Amino acid sequence: MRLDRVCYAAEPDGLLATARRLGSAIGVQPVEGGVQPRLGSRTMVLPLAGSHCVEIVEALEHPATLRMPFGQAVRARTRSGGGWLTWVVTVDDAVLVERCPGRTVTAVHRRGADGGLACWRQLGAAGSASGGPDTAGSATAGPDVDPQLPFLTSPGHGVGPRELRVCGSARLSVLRISGSPHRVTSSLGEPGDRLLEDVEVEWVAPSGTPGLLEVCFETPAGPVVR
């Protein structure tokens, strides 16, 4: 199983300022992502080596966003200072359905600044985000909604999260997650000793609030932890 990206909620001074600040810290130039209407958010991307990226997200200023659990989660995280929301792994469609029986897989699209449209399928966008609201009754809610679990995404077509990026100079090396290794590995059906084939996962604060706590990067200027 491969990591696709990590998601970071914009800080109170906004999407662009947050993207520039994070980009400066790891030596990467932010790239315009686009608007994700079904998630109630807009994005900017920090491309990384290994086809990974940091996706910075900001809730759309639109009344409909208040009805979108992911947009609500992003807004709440921004109001509390911003920070890491979740991590995303790539699977194929068959795995997405097999591992999530009885739950709805959301079709997501993103409209870029140049008008280009990207489409992909995703599970978890409604409520897995750290600090997100209760999602009972939402389209993708279920008994296993849990902020320590990643989103699952299946590639679609167009310039999506993975295709958007070019290879950056910084590399994502470690995810530090608060929570239960057994809970996550049993949900994903992957061995605990090597959950991701391309990034190390460290489990910290097992009794703390579950979710993605820190991300470690290797940059030309040395290691950076955010």
pLDDT tens digits, one per residue of 168-220: 789 999 999 998 888 888 877 777 667 888 899 999 988 888 999 999 999 99
pLDDT tens digits, one per residue of 128-153: 555 543 333 333 333 345 788 888 88
Provide the residue range defining the domain that includes 86.
Answer: 2-225
Domain of 184: which CATH number?
3.10.180.10
Domain count within the chain: 1
Contacts 24+ apart (CB under 8 A), 201-206: 201/174, 201/175, 201/177, 202/174, 202/175, 202/176, 202/177, 203/176, 203/177, 203/178, 203/179, 204/176, 204/177, 204/178, 205/178, 206/178, 206/179, 206/180
Rounded to two decimals, the pTM is 0.82
Percentage above 70 pLDDT, the chain: 69
Residues 75-86 have a mean pLDDT of 95
* 84 and 213 Cβ atoms separated by less than 8 Å: yes
Is 70 exceeded by the pLDDT of residue 114? no
Q: How are the residues of the chain apportioned to helix, strand and coil, as percentages rounded to the nearest 5? A: 25, 35, 40
